[in-house]
Structure 1
């Protein structure tokens, strides 16, 4: 999923679940920042140290960055970033490669959500539920692919069948995908096309797309209706935010909207055939019109702004080990590490992945 879902959709669904505006913005910002945090390694003013591995992918699926980032996608990233944050293993099948494949709304994902909800009262609870929203939503978009380089991710590039009504958008989508595949040729190509959904470009992340393909080993993907899948993800996120609001009533307005009341409005947003900017506009329009959450003032969803987190990286060295605890970025780091450690050291081993990575 992209910013239209991870931030704007997350914010709208949190608000629909009764989460107050400021809390919803913290949740949504954390959800999107998972894709943007590149890690930090800083010595503090009193010689203490703050370090955290990235949560962001080591690769961005754009021609401008793919060649530069390919060299940074290594097995360590796959173990500590791709799998816990973007392709949560479903733990189904017999081989490790099969068990590493992400599954839509898997029992593993549901267990993760329940565990993180139990941490709602921690001081990093808001941020953790945002990170959880990102990981959980991605199980709906990224199912069928894994966060390790493996031939099971490889796609037959001649097999794609895309259903897009707009001919101009169809051309745009194909052009973007073709440019990416061309950029993958040469150094790093094998890694990139066998990692995650690199072989399918951004097709899994486009909410309006209905499509099918074959894997290179002959498996058929079956028909993937992203709109229906994303709608199911939205309902699950809404349910999660409802539960969070019950556990942290100070963040709730006590007047949630049932999902059935907004389901068709959300479906309409997801059907928007357009660029990411146009899909964001669809969320904004629905928000201002009060179609997804109560909004008598017709306020827009606050624009996603990672500057607050990013700027703290630049001046973190001026803080002491005591002062850093009040930093929003430090709160994000704590929540991210709680999530990463739980998934890798508890959740996956409990589900048969004790030796997690080949």
Structure 2
């Protein structure tokens, strides 16, 4: 999923689920920031203080990253949450929509309700949770299940396919076949291009086990939004049985289905603008308000507000550590990431026979 869902739709789900605008914004921002927090390592302050950060995403085209150990710590807990089903490690690592593992991850976040990182932890968790619908059938490790053959999408011409490929690769690649792309991008859904993340897409392919896989994203995305709303309600009430809570009202679900189906701009940031326009115009029943813009990097971003640093690589003078940093969204997000990663990789997955970190 892209920013139109992780920020825009999650904001809608949080507001419909009963959160204040401020809390919904924190959750939605943390949910999207999982895709943008690409700087890892120690942040060093002028006075000698240090703060450890874990990257929750790789930079553009790093689906081809060959550091499999690092991939497992990034793609697996945050983007391709394993379902833990099957016999082999490769089978257990496959992401399945709304799996029991995914629900347990949500329950663990609800358990942290009221903690200082609670909202940020919920946002991080919702990112991995809703991605189980978009990324189903793929794994966050190098796996034969990630192979894609004979990829086709409805109303997709060869020219359109190549344009999608250029968006992923960042440079022109001509006369390339899916088999070659699969070898180049062995982790996650890289070989399936952008189709898993487009809300309206109808597409099909042959997977690594020669199974014919047919996907229609729209009902999956609407279900993901509905379950995100249930998770928010569970969080609000301290109910770990969040799946039993009310989801999106019928009129909201109908409006959201229309929005996701008709909002087909190839640029996900343009799609986010449309989502925000719908909310501002009151086209989502029960909501008529301005959604603040999302700033991933640079001035106005969580990192810059907390440290004064405007670049990904901490370029510039070392920041001064203050109490304001301790209270910042940036610090709370990264500590929530540490909590989520530990619980997922060290507790939940090993309990289901899957040790990947």
User: Shared topology, TM-score over 0.5?
Assistant: yes
Report if aligned partners of 1:8, 1:283 keep a CA contact under 8 Å in 2.
yes
Report if aligned partners of 2:93, 2:140 keep a CA contact under 8 Å in 1.
yes
Structure 2 counterpart SS, 1:271 = helix
Report if aligned partners of 2:307, 2:320 keep a CA contact under 8 Å in 1.
no
Report if aligned partners of 1:59, 1:72 keep a CA contact under 8 Å in 2.
no
1:162 to 150, 153, 158: 153
Paired with 2:225 and 2:148, the residues of 1 have a C-alpha distance of: 27
- TM-aligned CA deviation for residue 180 of structure 1: 4.2
Tell me: CA distance 1:293–1:244, structure 2 relative to 1, closer, same or farther (3 Å). Answer: farther
What does 1:123-134 correspond to in 2, within 5 Å? 123-134=116-127
- Say whether 1:236 aligns with 2:227: yes
Report if aligned partners of 1:44, 1:321 keep a CA contact under 8 Å in 2.
no
- Output the TM-score relative to the length of structure 2: 0.84
What does 1:7-156 correspond to in 2, within 5 Å? 7-38=7-38, 39-56=40-57, 58-60=58-60, 66=61, 69=62, 72-156=65-149
| 1:356 alignment counterpart | 356
Deviations 1:244-285 (A, max 9, x none): 22249xxxxxxx995223110010011022222442243123
- TM-aligned CA deviation for residue 292 of structure 1: 2.5
Paired with 1:240 and 1:216, the residues of 2 have a C-alpha distance of: 33
Paired with 2:42 and 2:265, the residues of 1 have a C-alpha distance of: 38
Structure 1 counterpart SS, 2:52 = strand
| 1:305 alignment counterpart | 295
Report if aligned partners of 1:140, 1:233 keep a CA contact under 8 Å in 2.
yes
Report if aligned partners of 2:63, 2:188 keep a CA contact under 8 Å in 1.
no
Paired with 1:44 and 1:278, the residues of 2 have a C-alpha distance of: 37
- TM-aligned CA deviation for residue 323 of structure 1: 5.1
CA RMSD of aligned residues (A): 2.7
- TM-aligned CA deviation for residue 171 of structure 1: 4.9
Greater displacement, 75-84 / 204-213 = 75-84
- TM-aligned CA deviation for residue 44 of structure 1: 2.7
Paired with 1:323 and 1:22, the residues of 2 have a C-alpha distance of: 19
| 1:252 alignment counterpart | none
Unaligned runs of 5+ in 1: 61-65, 249-255
1:200 to 192, 195, 215: 192
Paired with 2:247 and 2:138, the residues of 1 have a C-alpha distance of: 34
- TM-aligned CA deviation for residue 325 of structure 1: 1.6
Structure 1 counterpart SS, 2:206 = coil
- TM-aligned CA deviation for residue 231 of structure 1: 0.5
Unaligned runs of 5+ in 2: 240-245
Tell me: CA distance 1:25–1:103, structure 2 relative to 1, closer, same or farther (3 Å). Answer: same
Tell me: CA distance 1:192–1:16, structure 2 relative to 1, closer, same or farther (3 Å). Answer: farther
Deviating beyond 6 angstroms after TM superposition, the runs of 4 or more aligned structure 1 residues are: none
Deviations 1:101-123 (A, max 9, x none): 11111000001101110101111
Report if aligned partners of 1:265, 1:286 keep a CA contact under 8 Å in 2.
no
Report if aligned partners of 2:117, 2:332 keep a CA contact under 8 Å in 1.
yes
Tell me which of the two structures has the higher relative contact order, counting C-alpha pairs closer than 8 angstroms and 6 or more residues apart: 1
- TM-aligned CA deviation for residue 19 of structure 1: 1.1
